[in-house]
Amino acid sequence: MKRYPIRMIAGILLLVSILILPFLYPVQAWINMPTSLTLIEGQEETFASFGGEVVEQDNAIEVTAQDGEQSISAGGVGQHEMVYELAGFPIKKVNVDVVKDLKVYPGGQSIGVKLNTLGVLVVGHHLVETGEGRVSPGENAGIEVGDIITKINGTKVEKMSDIGPYVKQAGENGKPLQLEVRREEETFETELMPIQQSGEAQYKLGLYIRDSAAGIGTMTFYEPKSKKYGALGHVISDMDTKEPIVVQDGEIMRSMVTSIEKGRGGNPGEKLARFAEDKKVIGNIKRNSPFGIFGELTDPIQNGILDEPMSIALSHQVKEGPAQILTVVDDDKVELFDIEIISTIPQKFPATKGMVIKVTDPRLLEKTGGIVQGMSGSPIVQDGKLVGAVTHVFVNDPKSGYGVHIEWMLDEAGIDLYGNDLNQAS
C-alpha cells in the first residue's frame, strides 16, 4: 500500500522532467545549433553553447566558448566537419562549408541595357487581307506569341532584316518556309507559306516580330579579377509577351536619369533616363536570369562614393534593421540612402525574394516616393558589407519591396565562392 504513492510520485516527477526538458537552455541551444553551416574564411559565427565538447576533424576549424556562447571560425576554404561530444558520447555532427572572403566593388550606377534575342521574337499576330478573307499565316502555322524563330530553311536568323529575303523568295516561288521555332525549352519545326496582301506586292507572314529590347537598370557589383558584373536583380521580360527574353548577346552602357515619376499607392513610379551621349559600351551581356543580367565589363567602374572593394554577407548573416542602398536619382550621381531591412530569410537554396525592405530616407521618399522602376539592382549595404540588391516594389506600398541576397547573384555571374579560378568562362 505504501509503494503505490511512491511510484505515482516518481512517475509524475519523470513526466514533469520530460515535459520541461525541451525548454532547458542547453537543450534549446543544442536544438538551435544547425547541422550545416556556411562560414566566410576568417570571419566568426556565434551561437549559444550547450556544453558539448568539440572533436575537431581537422585543424581548419576553431571553436572558443565563453559566457554561454561559442564562436566558430575557419581558416581553410572548402568542406569541413566537426562533432560535438558529451560525456564521451557523440551528440551532434555539423558540416561546415567555408567560402572565401570575396571582395567586390559595389555599384549603384544607372546603366542602359540592350538585349539581342536568340533569333527573332514573335510578339503578336496580324491578319492579312487576301480579297477572299483575312488570315494570319503565322497563326495557322502554329506559331504563338513568345515563340522565337531561330532558323529559316536551315539557316540561322538573328535579326529582322534576315527575314525579308526569305519571305520574298518563298512568295515568288510558291514554296513554304521551313521554320525552326523555340518555345520555352523546346524546339520544333513547322511550315509557313507567306501570302500577298490584297493590293500590295509584298508577301506577309502575319506575325509581329522583334529582334532586340532596350531599357535601364542599376549596376549591383563588379568583381575586378574576372571583370564579371551583376545588375538589375531580376529577369528582363518582353514588354509585349511578358516572357523572359532569351538572350543571344547584349551590351550595357552608362545612362543618365533625366526625371522621376514619383511612386504612389497602385503606381510604383519610374526613373526616366537616356543613354549617355557617347553611347560607349562598357560591358557585354551573357545571361538574363531570374536574378538579373550578367556579363563582363570592358572598363572598371566607380560610383564615386564607395570605391573600395567590399566584403559580402551570406544570407544567414543579414539581419533585420538599418541598411543603405546605392542608387541614382539625378543625372549620373550615385548616392547613399537609408532603408530598413524588415525581414530576411537565411536561404540555403537560390531564391529571388530573400528580404523585405522599406525606404526610410526622407530625401529619397520626397524625390521618388520609395522604390521606383529602374531602381532594380541597387546594391544593399549593411555594416560595411554588400548583402543584396533591390528587386521588386510592392505596388500598393511603394515605400517597400523585395531584395535578393548577393550570394545568389554572385553564383549566377559564375563567381565561385570556393576559390576556384575566377577567370574561367562561366
Q: What is the pLDDT of residues 35-55, one digit of tens each?
A: 778 888 888 888 777 766 777
Q: What is the pLDDT of residues 215-260, one digit of tens each?
A: 899 999 999 999 999 999 999 887 777 778 888 889 999 999 999 9
Check residue 372 and give its pLDDT.
94
Which three cell numbers, joined as nine digits, stand for 248? 543571344
Tell me the C-alpha distance between 193 and 138, whole Å: 8
Check residue 81 and give its pLDDT.
83
Task: Assess contact for 199 and 102: CB atoms under 8 A.
Answer: no
CATH of 104-113+213-412, one of 2.40.10.120, 1.10.10.60, 1.10.246.90, 3.40.50.300: 2.40.10.120
Residues 6+ apart with CB under 8 A from 328: 108, 109, 110, 218, 257, 271, 334, 335
Q: Which residues belong to CATH 2.60.40.1380 in the chain?
A: 22-101
User: Is 414 or 248 the better-scoring residue by pLDDT?
Assistant: 414
Check residue 332 and give its pLDDT.
93
Average the pLDDT over 262-272 and give the result. 85
For the chain, give the longest Cα–Cα distance.
113
Active site residues: 234, 361, 376
DSSP 214-268: EEEEEEEEEETTTTEEEESSS--B-TTT-SBP-EEEEEEEEEEEEEEE--BTTB-
User: Mean pLDDT, the chain, as a whole number?
Assistant: 86
Q: What is the pLDDT of residues 150-164, one digit of tens each?
A: 999 999 998 888 898
Q: Which residues belong to CATH 2.40.10.120 in the chain?
A: 104-113+213-412
Check pLDDT > 60 for residue 23: no
- Three-state DSSP at 36 gives strand
Q: What is the pLDDT of residues 368-413, one digit of tens each?
A: 999 999 999 999 999 999 999 999 999 899 999 999 999 999 999 9
CATH of domain 127-205: 2.30.42.10
Check pLDDT > 80 for residue 66: no
The answer to whether the pTM exceeds 0.75 is: yes
Q: What is the pLDDT of residues 164-204, one digit of tens each?
A: 899 989 888 889 999 999 998 899 999 999 998 887 888 99
Residues facing residue 343 across a β-bridge: 356
Tell me the C-alpha distance between 416 and 426, whole Å: 10
Check residue 426 and give its pLDDT.
37
Residues 6+ apart with CB under 8 A from 60: 74, 75, 76, 78, 80, 98
Among 3-7, 67-71, 87-91, 235-239, top mean pLDDT goes to 235-239
CATH topology of domain 22-101: Immunoglobulin-like (2.60.40)
